[in-house]
């Protein structure tokens, strides 16, 4: 049986778009500082993240169905290889997001201004851009990344602890659902549902870590840059830290995938 099927292509395309959106969401704070509408920028960031998280939940049943369609011989290895392909796609999604980062700083700057004019209506905002004139404006914002963006960024300006924390959180988010589904194949049939439901616990822990240790620092930093208490370069360093650590997190997820699956299987048997 072929490893890359039509269903794998659909799930991979879905993952590519979702991961790209998550990566590009980090540019909203830079856009907010540029147009001096940081609260509106944070609102737009939250909307994008919620959409991405919901999309990940929708993806779960599609990914789980791959098990039913896998060949009976050496099923574990076959599914492992398919899931590793999907994890690899998330890495590509982050890279695509990084390439489009300068473009979306421009797009989100316009979107944030428009969102403030629309009094916070995100639906109206999207409808404004979903026409020929809006699409032309989006293409006019296209910018390729250049090394000039990195000017002024040094080892001192990069938040090292934040980098490590986001690598861990990104790795957990990337492999959480996949490891839980794979774990359902490692446990007796009676414990399958317990293993599958464990993905909510894993992603919940990652969300708590994100909410407690990462998001507040970003918001405070953006406020301090707005008040000119901190140089703008620190906000750029933060954005670079978040997208690069997210990429490394997807790489770490490849190594975390199987250990996490066996841990979930043990947990499902233990509870």
DSSP type of residue 210: I
Question: Are 194 and 268 a contacting pair, CB within 8 Å?
Answer: yes
Q: What is the pLDDT of residue 94?
A: 95
Q: What percent helix, strand, coil does the chain show, rounded to 5?
A: 85, 0, 15
d(CA 24, CA 19): 9
Q: What is the pLDDT of residue 87?
A: 94
Q: What is the pLDDT of residue 268?
A: 83
Residues 6+ apart with CB under 8 A from 59: 11, 14, 15, 18, 177
Longest dimension (CA), the chain: 63
| 108-to-48, 76, 79, 236 alpha-carbon distances in Å | 11, 43, 38, 15
Continuous segment of H or E residues that includes residue 29: helix 28-35
Q: What is the pLDDT of residue 120?
A: 62
Query: Each residue's pLDDT tens digit in the chain (271 positions)?
Result: 578 888 888 889 888 988 998 888 888 888 888 888 777 777 777 777 777 777 766 777 788 788 877 777 788 888 889 999 999 999 999 999 999 998 888 888 888 888 777 666 777 777 777 777 777 877 888 888 877 777 888 888 888 888 999 999 999 989 988 988 888 888 887 778 888 777 777 777 887 887 787 777 777 888 888 888 888 888 889 888 999 999 999 999 999 999 999 988 888 888 7
Q: What is the pLDDT of residue 1?
A: 58
Model pLDDT for residues 141-179, shown as the tens digit of each residue: 888 887 777 788 888 888 888 899 999 999 998 998 898
Pick the closest to residue 42 from 208, 184, 217 (CA basis): 217
Helices (H) and strands (E) in the chain, counts: 11, 0
Question: Are 111 and 125 a contacting pair, CB within 8 Å?
Answer: yes
Q: Which two tokens stand for residue 117?
A: 């004019």
Model pLDDT for residues 7-22, shown as the tens digit of each residue: 888 889 888 988 998 8
């Amino acid at each position: 049986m072929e490893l890359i099927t039509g269903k794998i292509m659909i799930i991979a395309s879905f993952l590519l778009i979702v991961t790209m959106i998550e990566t590009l969401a980090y540019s909203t704070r830079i856009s907010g500082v540029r147009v001096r509408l940081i609260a509106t920028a944070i609102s737009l960031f939250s909307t994008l993240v919620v959409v991405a998280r919901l999309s990940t939940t929708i993806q779960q049943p599609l990914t789980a169905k791959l098990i039913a369609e896998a060949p009976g011989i050496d099923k574990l290895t076959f599914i492992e290889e398919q899931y590793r392909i999907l994890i690899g796609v998330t890495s590509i999604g982050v890279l695509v997001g990084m390439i489009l980062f300068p473009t979306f700083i421009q797009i989100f700057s316009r979107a944030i201004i428009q969102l403030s004019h629309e009094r916070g209506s995100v639906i109206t905002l999207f409808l404004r851009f979903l026409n020929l004139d809006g699409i032309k404006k989006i293409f006019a914002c296209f910018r390729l990344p250049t090394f000039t963006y990195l000017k002024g960024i040094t080892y001192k300006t990069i938040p090292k602890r934040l980098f490590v924390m986001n690598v861990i959180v990104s790795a957990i988010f990337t492999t959480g659902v996949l490891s839980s589904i794979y774990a359902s194949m490692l446990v007796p049939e009676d414990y399958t549902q317990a293993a599958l439901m464990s993905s909510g616990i894993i992603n919940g822990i990652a969300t708590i870590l994100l909410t407690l240790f990462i998001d507040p620092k970003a918001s405070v930093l953006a406020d301090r840059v707005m008040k000119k208490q901190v140089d703008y370069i620190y906000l750029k360093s933060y954005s670079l830290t978040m997208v690069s650590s997210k990429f490394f997190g997807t790489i770490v997820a490849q190594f975390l995938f199987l250990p996490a699956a066996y841990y979930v299987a043990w947990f499902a048997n233990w509870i």
